[in-house]
Amino acid sequence: MQSPRPDRIRKLLADLVAFDTVSDRSNLPLIDYIERYLASLGVSSQRIVDETGQKSSLWVTVGPEDKAGLVLSGHTDVVPVAGQDWSHNPFELVERDGRLYGRGTTDMKGFVAVCLAMVPEMLAADLKTPINLAISYDEEIGCVGVRPMLREVARKPVKPLGCFVGEPTQMQVIIGHKGKHGVRATFRGLARHSSIAPDGVNAIEYAAELITEIRRRAALLAADAEQSSLYDVPHSTLLTSIVRGGAALNIVPDHCAVEFECRGIGITESRQVTDAIIAWAKAEIEPRMRQQHPECGIDFEEILDYPALDTAADAPIVTLAKQLAGRNDHAKVAFGTEAGLFVSMADVPSVVVGPGAIAQAHTPDEFVEMSQLEACGDFVARLIAHCAKA
């Protein structure tokens, strides 16, 4: 007899994709849907609502609530589709040649759909170790929603044994990823007509000095690459990503905003690198700006921060993840996830393992292969068996 699992996954994924949960929108309709689905199975959940009341995470426990469990973690938000050339409605699931197309199918509603589809099998098993579902919001704009949820988890009487974050890895176990710290530097100059340019303070030209220093330091990081590293890019990276400034060709620019980021291999390296750049700019650039005019200067603002993940290859959570995935290899990736926050905020050992390929994430006609979702279902089925005997 054919298993009903694939059809459950398809149905749930189609329903999840239909919710437009781009990060600037509320995810509450989707959360309502998940709650109704779980309630129909007799499973309760805990909402962790944001300050606006328009976003919510869900914490779900299947099995004994007084024991430490294993967590399956995924986010509900997706990146925008504006400006992308889709061949069909991105919020309607389309299946073609073994691929399921739609926004978020890979990143990462496919994983969430699998977890929800497996709840009936969790309930049918006599779980000795509980399985937790951690469903968050606004991961795409800085892992925002998981943080208040993890503060709740850290206050619980029992701490989870470990966490599997289901970002797309083609079901390969990921033991490490880079952290990220993003900063916006706003240069405040003094506008003057360009015919009397020496009387002004050129914000763009001072910003260019910062950009040059960022590039110099990026080269130093690249020269410090570890040849034995598991990362495709075996060193921390630093770059300028956005520059905005000026008003007109004949006006000395009085403003320029520069956004830059560091993706660091070490747990705290990203912030250390950006902090050093800020200190350099305050010492080397800002005094010269103020010498020209006392109201000129630079304002720095943190715009994004999440820690790196660095789980030991011989950690119990890694061994278990490999057993559940049915493979012995592991890797590290440059993209970030919520896994580092599970470790840093709640002291929960974590790995990343999930269906789909990161190359498909955020793209027009995003897709996940049905075979990947089925492999993820097998992973969760083995987890259920493990928790039933643990």
Tell me the per-residue pLDDT of 350-377, one tens digit each, with 9 for 90 and over. 999 999 999 999 999 999 999 999 999 9
- Do the beta carbons of residue 237 and residue 262 sit within 8 Å? yes
Q: Give the CA distances from residue 57 to residues 4, 60, 148, 186, in Å, rounded to whole numbers and listed in that order.
A: 28, 10, 9, 33
Beta-bridge partner residues of 238: 262
Kindly tell me if the per-residue pLDDT of 390 is higher than 70.
no
Kindly tell me if the per-residue pLDDT of 39 is higher than 90.
yes
Q: How far is C-alpha 229 from the chain's CA centre?
A: 22
Degrees, nearest 5: CA angle 120-57-129? 45
- The DSSP line for 13-80 is HHHHHTS--BTTS--HHHHHHHHHHHHHTT--EEEEE-TTSS-EEEEEEES-TTS--EEEEEE--B--
Helix ranges restricted to H, the chain: 5-17, 28-40, 110-117, 119-124, 146-155, 203-223, 269-284, 286-292, 316-325, 339-346, 370-389
Closest to 149 (Cα-Cα) out of 310, 304, 345, 294: 345
Kindly tell me if the per-residue pLDDT of 156 is higher than 80.
yes
- Do the beta carbons of residue 70 and residue 348 sit within 8 Å? no
Average pLDDT over residues 101-127: 98
Q: Tens of pLDDT along 288-322?
A: 999 999 999 999 999 999 999 999 999 999 999 99
Kindly tell me if the per-residue pLDDT of 229 is higher than 60.
yes
- Do the beta carbons of residue 157 and residue 228 sit within 8 Å? no
Domains of the chain: 5-177+308-389 (3.40.630.10), 179-306 (3.30.70.360)
- Do the beta carbons of residue 376 and residue 171 sit within 8 Å? yes
Q: Give the CA distances from residue 231 to residues 28, 169, 285, in Å, rounded to whole numbers and listed in that order.
A: 37, 14, 35
- Do the beta carbons of residue 355 and residue 375 sit within 8 Å? yes
Q: What pLDDT is stored for residue 27 in this prediction? A: 98
**Length reported for the chain:** 390
Cα dihedral sign, 86-87-93-98:
negative
Kindly tell me if the per-residue pLDDT of 263 is higher than 90.
yes
Six token digits for residue 367: 């897709």
Q: How far is C-alpha 300 from the chain's CA centre?
A: 23
Indicate the burial class of 30 (C-beta count within 10 angstroms; 0-12, 13-18, 19 or more): buried
261 phi/psi in degrees, rounded to 5: -140, 155
Kindly tell me if the per-residue pLDDT of 227 is higher than 90.
no
Q: What pLDDT is stored for residue 149 in this prediction? A: 97
Kindly tell me if the per-residue pLDDT of 1 is higher than 70.
no
- Do the beta carbons of residue 318 and residue 332 sit within 8 Å? no
CA-CA distance, 136 to 17, in Å (whole number)?
Answer: 16
* Mean pLDDT value across the chain: 96
Q: What pLDDT is stored for residue 226 in this prediction? A: 79
DSSP three-state, residue 119: helix
CA-CA distance, 15 to 175, in Å (whole number)?
Answer: 31
Q: What stretches of 115-178 adopt beta strand conformation (E)?
A: 131-136, 162-165, 173-177
Cα dihedral sign, 133-137-139-143:
negative
HSE value, Cβ hemisphere, 13 Å, CA-based, for 105: 29
